[in-house]
Chains A and B, each alone.
Chain A
Amino acid sequence: MPKPNALPSGIKKLIRTIVKREFQDNILSFKFIACVLVAIVLVIISTIVQTDDYLVRLDDYHKGLALAQDKLTKVPAYSFLRVSIYKKPSALSIFIPGMESRTGSFATVSHREIPTSLKGGRVNNEFAWVFSFFDLSSVVVGIFTILAVLLAYSGMSGEKESGTLSLVLSNAVPRARFLIGKYLGGLITLAIATVLCFLSGSIILLFFKGLDLGKGFFLSVLLIFLFSLLYLSSVLLFGILMSSLTKASFMSLVVVLAFYLVAVFLMPLAVNSATERSSARIVRDAERNVRALEEKRSAAISKIDSEISPRRSWTFMKATEEMTDALLGRLNPPDTIAYFASYIPQEERLREDYALKIYELRQQDNGVRARIDRVRNWVLAISPASCFSRAAELEADTGRLALDSFFSQLTLYWHLYVRYLDEKDALSLKYAYPYSRDLAPTDKSLVDELNRVVVEKKGPWYSSKAFREVGKHNAQYEKEIKPLDLSDMPIFHFQKKGFVQRFLTWLPCVLVLFVDNLLFFLLAYFAFVRYDPRPET
């Protein structure tokens, strides 16, 4: 008598035979060939389109970087200093675009504002959001889910209908082994289909010249492949479960297709539109609060202006951007200089303070929004398809979290940058005035003449002869302005998430998928153990 656990070797062989038979059946079937062909065509199209898009974005990035570098060498005074920071597009956005192609490409840092959104970007047409496009993960979800469903729905009930089930089970094959055999056969088929898909996508990449994918690209692709396998396995198990619960394969088909419709299309649609609405409302309220804060800021600024109120010769100069332009010229009356020497530090300090305040306000609302996102993700976790898409996006690091980490690093950089400005005493008269104060005698007389025109108000000052003369002289002096030496300015380096960090972000999704698999497997096992294998007559 053999022990109950130890199977005779013939049966072990039988299991292998079941897997092999299942696999051969699947791979030669029409459904497999049709689905794989369609998926490969879609992946090739999407890879070509997305790679082209990625290359254009990469080109924009390099151009922008060069332009920003060039600009930094030509800054005449600190008021002209704007640090443009470009976000490097991620190569993985070819397969999982996430939000990359939808958000902008750069942010501008100055002491007046901590950026919280990207500017620029590839889409110049405001109506273009009407169109969306598919990517690798949506092909996996859209097409291979169908394949998994088709492979699984007739697993048990189909065998029963054709009468083979009772035949196999009467051959002393334990039910659990039969179930595992079925499952493995389906899984191997799905793995081959997915591998073909990922391979054809990767091969397309080889045809693009000058594509620098960077380290870890294929590791991430491999991980995304494993995620998709985990996801498809859960669909397969769900199909087998349904097939062992229903008497007729047609019934299990109907149920599994309904699952496909709900899990892949309807649930994400409903949940996303419900949560987007609430986050949109938060953004709206936040922007209103920011606007209120900005109004407070301008009130404070005009208060500073009125408190200083020295006698200004050039009364026409309001505290605007053009003021700094005008100050760049050498020919300014001493009292104008004195005014700005006391005005600029106060205003710019105030703006710096408010930059921080506005940022904190936005951060608060961001926190609320992140909570909403979390709730959404947990609700969506019910659907394995959403779980997979999210895990893939997190590994590719092209979603909202990637953007968030970019901005949090940017905020750290902002503090460094502001400290640098402090060290250079940049928010003083230096902010706008690159000269020592001494004027040549001819210059002095010119300034006096213009002062007289302005003070006596003989017609519009800008049509006076003296103004034109001052303009000409200033143009000459502008050529002498030396650009600021910014070589010791801190430089922003974006630290991409390491593997461990990414691992921690996608771990919950993968665990949920894993639990789904386990649950469906156990349920399928119990259902199958109690399954009546006799075909109905």
Chain B
Amino acid sequence: MFRYMLRRQLVEDAVSLRFSIYAAIILSGFIVLSLVFAGIHQDRLTDASRTSTFRSSDLRSSSSRLSNLIGLSQTILMEPQVVNFIADGHEGQMPQGLSVGMLGSRLAARQGDPGEGILSSPDLTSIVQIIFSFFAIVLTFNAISFEKEKGTLRLVLSNSVLRNKLLVTKYVGGILTVGIPFVIGLVLSLILLSFLGIPTLSGSYMTALLLFFVLSLLYMSFFVLLGLFFSITAGSSKNSLVLCLLCWVFVVIVLPKSGGPLLRLGSFSVPTEKAVAKEAELAGRELWNRHRGENMVAAGPEAESTKLNARVMYEASQAEQRVFDLYLDRKMRAVSTIMAVNCISPASFFEYATSAASGTGIDHFARFRRQIIQYQNELVRFFKDQDMKDKDSPHLFFHPDYVSKKPFDSAAVPEFKERSPGLLDRVKDSAAYGSGLLLWNVIMFSLVFIFFQRYDVR
């Protein structure tokens, strides 16, 4: 009986006008998205390769003296990933890399900012977030009320079909109807991407895709349930439609933007770039001031005062770096906190879950930054090793006048290679948001269930 009802539901949906219209929109959406993404990805790759060429040429031109390494600052961008196709996590709107020196790092200038600060970054997540939720609602807003208005609901229920069985049929049928174009579109876009020369068949990509698939189903299921809920509670199909659409606008469009203004609150605010630079400079100067009155530089390189000078110089640069780090931490924490506030909406839950599953977004930047710090340590180790080989060097780190001035092999300098997160990490990260989504589903489902049990079918 269940299978029969499900089949009826599916056939009814599949031949309906709404299904064909939305399937057309969905498929064209997937195609346009794939084309746009292929272009964006190509641009990001070009950027990354260009900066790495700059890096190696900078290294080569400073290889005449080891001491040149101290002042050298390299721009390293986050590696463009194919998983950004699944979820970009707003990487187009964030700083894209760091300027890294041996003594510290700063945020790199944005690449190719058209001056408006915002590069919208379309991805599969935004397609699912907008189109599929809408489709789910259009499909289910009258699922129950229409049957009632037609009178078939009474007929079915009088046929000794259990209420919850009917409900589950409607629910599963709705998910399947939304899910089938989703799967087709997904496969289509993967084929299109591979035609455009973007490899999509790697293991990490496939796991991200799998996680994304599960999360999308959860997300769509929420909207199917929402449609069913209003279809039961709103009285008539017309009212149910109004409520569904308004709810959709709230959940998908308004609420995910609700956290933004909170950034202006005192506890999240940060000083301007200029003020931060000034504060850093003050921190450095304070360290120098502590040693005021001491003779910092004597004639000989081995003199105690020269050692002191080198040490204070190093400590001052570290103090400056600490100020920058403090504010960068604070900025990122503010954004993460506000993202948590946005999570009142399932749409945000979904967005953050997919970006965690793909390892993109602000977490990507945080991971990148941790790896950059490790890389700095490698760089310092390399520098010290090279310096120790030079017998003439006074080894006063990191005073440019009192370290080795011999040439070094620029090819031997360690290179930065970004590591993507392990599978387990990604599953764990996305599970946290995913469980939020699941909770929404459970709440919605129990509401639908309870209200349907009490539903007057006449």
Contact = CB atoms under 8 A, between A and B. Distances in A.
Contacts of A270: 29, 32-33, 36, 122
Contacts of B239: 30-31
A281 B43 contact: yes
B205 interface: no
Contacts of B332: 127
Nearest to B16: A254
B210 interface: no
A277 B114 CA distance: 9
Interface stretch (A118-126, A325-333, A338-346, A423-431): A118-126
A205 interface: no
A53 B264 CA distance: 9
Interface SS majority for chain B: helix
Given A269-B122, A273-B36, A127 B95 contact: yes
A99 B116 contact: yes
A317 interface: no
A387 interface: no
Interface in A7-49: 30-31, 34-35, 38, 42, 49
Contact of A251 (B17, B90, B94): B17
A254 B19 CA distance: 9
Tell me whether chain A's interface is mostly helix, strand or loop, or mixed: helix
B116 A102 contact: yes
A509 B114 CA distance: 24
Contacts of A463: 295, 297
A258 B22 contact: yes
Interface stretch (B70-78, B79-87, B252-260, B387-395): B252-260
B40 interface: yes
B102 interface: no
A254 B17 contact: yes
B119 A34 contact: no
Interface in A237-269: 251, 253-255, 257-258, 261-262, 265-266, 269
Contact of B119 (A253, A276, A400): A276
B25 A262 contact: yes
B254 A129 contact: no
B36 A277 contact: yes
Interface in A29-81: 30-31, 34-35, 38, 42, 49, 52-53, 56
A225 to B, nearest CB: 21
Interface stretch (B214-222, B266-274, B368-376): B266-274
A273 B272 contact: no
A280 B43 CA distance: 9
Contacts of B245: 146, 150, 257
A273 B114 CA distance: 12
Given A34-B246, A103-B115, A284-B112, A130 B90 contact: yes
B257 A124 contact: no
A35 B246 contact: yes
A14 B295 CA distance: 102
Given A102-B117, A125-B263, A128-B263, A134 B257 contact: yes
A133 interface: yes
A38 B21 CA distance: 28
Contacts of A390: none
Nearest to A153: B241
Contacts of A281: 43, 112
A134 B118 CA distance: 15
A125 B331 CA distance: 6
Given A134-B254, A277-B39, A124 B271 contact: yes
A129 B249 contact: no
Given A127-B94, A254-B18, A273-B36, A266 B29 contact: yes
B153 interface: no
Contacts of A254: 17-18, 21, 138
Nearest to B24: A258
A262 B272 CA distance: 39
Contact of A129 (B25, B90, B271, B299): B90
Contact of A127 (B22, B138, B331): B331
A272 B121 CA distance: 10
Given A124-B273, A131-B263, A274 B29 contact: no
B203 to A, nearest CB: 29
Contacts of B114: 276, 279-280, 283, 369
A125 B17 contact: no
A244 to B, nearest CB: 16
Contacts of A129: 90, 93-94, 117-118
A124 B269 contact: yes
B134 interface: yes
Interface string A118-158: 00100111111111111000000011001000100000000
A459 interface: yes
A498 interface: no
Interface string B148-185: 00000000000000000000000000000000000000
Nearest to B250: A38
A363 interface: no
Contacts of A103: 115-117
B202 interface: no
A4 interface: no
A258 B137 CA distance: 12
A460 interface: yes
B261 A460 contact: no
B238 interface: yes
A117 interface: yes
Interface in B17-69: 17-18, 21-22, 25, 29, 32-33, 36, 39-40, 43, 47
B335 A261 contact: no
A129 B241 CA distance: 34
A31 B238 contact: yes
B17 A261 contact: no
B126 interface: yes
A127 B335 contact: yes
Contacts of A251: 17
B362 interface: yes
Q: Which of B43, B254, B339 has the most CB of A within 10 A?
A: B254
B377 interface: no
Interface in A269-294: 269-270, 272-274, 276-277, 279-281, 283-284, 287
Most chain B CB within 10 A, of A31, A56, A251, is at A31
Given A125-B334, A127-B362, A270-B122, A284 B299 contact: no
Nearest to B89: A130
A302 B308 CA distance: 35
A319 to B, nearest CB: 19
Contacts of A279: 114
Given A124-B273, A128-B260, 16 more contacts: A117-B115, A125-B263, A127-B95, A129-B94, A130-B93, A131-B335, A150-B241, A254-B21, A254-B138, A257-B245, A261-B131, A272-B120, A277-B119, A281-B43, A287-B112, A400-B116
22 contacts: A124-B270, A126-B95, A127-B332, A127-B335, A130-B362, A131-B260, A133-B257, A133-B260, A254-B18, A254-B138, A261-B134, A262-B25, A265-B130, A269-B120, A272-B120, A273-B121, A277-B36, A281-B43, A281-B112, A283-B115, A284-B111, A369-B114
List 7 tightest A-B contacts by C-beta distance, closest first. A131-B260, A284-B112, A129-B93, A280-B112, A254-B18, A130-B90, A127-B335
